[in-house]
Structure 1
Amino acid sequence: MHMTGHYPPNPRGSRLRLGLLALIAVSGVCHAQSAVTAGDPALSTPAPSLASCVSCHGVLGAGTATGGPRLAGMNPDYLAHALSMFKAGTRASAVMQSVAHDLSDSEIRSLAVFFSAQHPPRVEGAHRPLPAMVIAGKRLAELGAAPDVPACFTCHAADGKGSGARYPGIAGEPAAFVISRLHAFQARAKAGTPVPGTMTAVAATLDERQIEEAAAYLSVIDP
């Protein structure tokens, strides 16, 4: 999925190449894209212009301070699984469902592999979190809080790097996104009894201070 790849001669492939060229010109990371596509036959298939992704998720999927989630460095199996759920309508998001609706399996794989191999810097928030918030968030992430708040890293793996298709990496996610996502889980918990062990159930145990602490810590650690 880089500008020197071989694409079938069709208009969609042309649009993809134009989108990639524009992205490369902005980010200066042509070498990273070459590394992504090397040896992966899935990336010879055209995919949608990356402009539609980076408009919400930031350049190279770094995320945004206003709450656009980070995709860069995420496990490709998780990204592909999430896109497949959006496509099927089993994961809610009007924007993402419209984006994923017409994606083929090979296009989903191409996007997942591309973003998984990107490593842009963390997004700096509008305000740096207070050290006390970061320290408290670290404790939550690593140890949880008695009696019923589990450690974030129990499911999301050491240092929040993520684990397989089910548990995404959470390290380096913008604080605004973490807060918004946990609020969404809490709203879901109020709509019905959550299944034990799910993020919906976990979020239901958190108070607002804990949500802000976890978000503060996750936003300052490297993905």
Structure 2
Amino acid sequence: MFGLRYTGKSRDGLRLVSLAVLFGLAGICHAQSPAKVQDTGVDANPPSVTTCVACHGALGAGTASGGPRLAGKDPDYLAHALAMFKAGTRASDAMQAVARNLSDSDIHNLAMFFSQQNPPLATGAVPPSQSLVIAGKQLAEMGAGPGVPACFSCHAAGGKGNGARFPGIAGEPAAFVVARLHEFQARAKGKMPAPGTMTAVAAMLNDTQIEEAAAYLSVTGP
């Protein structure tokens, strides 16, 4: 539900596509220490991991307050997101402050590090009601009419992601999903969105549907 389009899933030229990036929601940060991980062939302490987990949770698990999950995302997706923040083409004061001093090697190491992590889902939020979760599952798997395709039609079965263009959305904290979809809705009010974009899809959602999708994704393992 958070990639740019629901059509055209070719992986060619993905680094050049302006993605609807989950990475980098500016929210309340809760500092956490990075945990040790098994040897995966990637530097276990790449540059700025401590800075990243302050907002994104230990090992990039996400936070109940709305820090998006980075763990397990496609490394090309994460690298492109950081490159956008570094270049200033993706707006976020917090993320631009972090990314502007990263080298290409730093970006690669961070992307690889978080892509290989698999921490438990973020904790601390009030568990969603079963009715919201059930309705959210229906929305994610089946959609809601012609204007709202199933989330998983682009983000793959279970919301596990489909390459660099369509990131994994399962396991994202509910607060992040709600905030991100509202951001897309605000964007739609400023300019008519192109058909098939996340902005166009979000504009069709009501507040109840947003809460339902957020509830289901927040309890679904990536």
Determine the C-alpha separation between the residues in 1 that align with 2:51 and 2:101: 13
1:48-197 alignment, distance < 5 Å: 48-197=47-196
Determine the C-alpha separation between the residues in 2 that align with 1:192 and 1:118: 37
Can you give the 5+ residue segments of structure 2 that lack an aligned partner in the other structure?
1-31
Show structure 1 runs of 4+ deviating over 4 A.
none
Determine the C-alpha separation between the residues in 2 that align with 1:125 and 1:197: 34
Determine the C-alpha separation between the residues in 1 that align with 2:110 and 2:47: 8
> 1:36, CA displacement in angstroms?
4.3
Tell me, yes or no, if the aligned pair for 1:125 and 1:175 is still in contact at 8 Å.
Answer: no
Tell me, yes or no, if the aligned pair for 2:59 and 2:71 is still in contact at 8 Å.
Answer: yes
Equivalent position amino acid for 1:165 in 2: A
Percent sequence identity is 66
Which one has a larger percent helix, Structure 1 or Structure 2?
1
Equivalent position amino acid for 1:140 in 2: L
> 1:53, CA displacement in angstroms?
0.3
Greater RCO (Cα-Cα under 8 Å, separation 6 or more): 2
TM-score (norm 1): 0.81
1:14-25 alignment, distance < 5 Å: 23=33
Determine the C-alpha separation between the residues in 2 that align with 1:150 and 1:158: 13
**CA deviations over 1:46-105 (Å, ceiling 9, x no partner):** 942311100000010000000000001111111011111111111111111111112111
Secondary structure, counterpart of 1:172 in structure 2: coil
Equivalent position amino acid for 2:120 in 1: P
CA separation of 1:125 and 1:35: change in aligned 2, threshold 3 A? same
Secondary structure, counterpart of 1:151 in structure 2: coil
* Aligned counterpart, 2:202: 203
Tell me, yes or no, if the aligned pair for 2:46 and 2:113 is still in contact at 8 Å.
Answer: no
**CA deviations over 1:165-194 (Å, ceiling 9, x no partner):** 211110000000000000111111111011
**CA deviations over 1:91-147 (Å, ceiling 9, x no partner):** 111111111112111111100000011111001342111111000000000010014
For the pair shown, which has the larger CA radius of gyration, 1 or 2?
1
Can you give the 5+ residue segments of structure 1 that lack an aligned partner in the other structure?
1-21, 38-42
CA RMSD of aligned residues (A): 1.7
* Aligned counterpart, 1:214: 213
Tell me, yes or no, if the aligned pair for 1:160 and 1:171 is still in contact at 8 Å.
Answer: yes
* Aligned counterpart, 1:35: 40
Tell me, yes or no, if the aligned pair for 1:36 and 1:117 is still in contact at 8 Å.
Answer: no
Secondary structure, counterpart of 1:35 in structure 2: coil
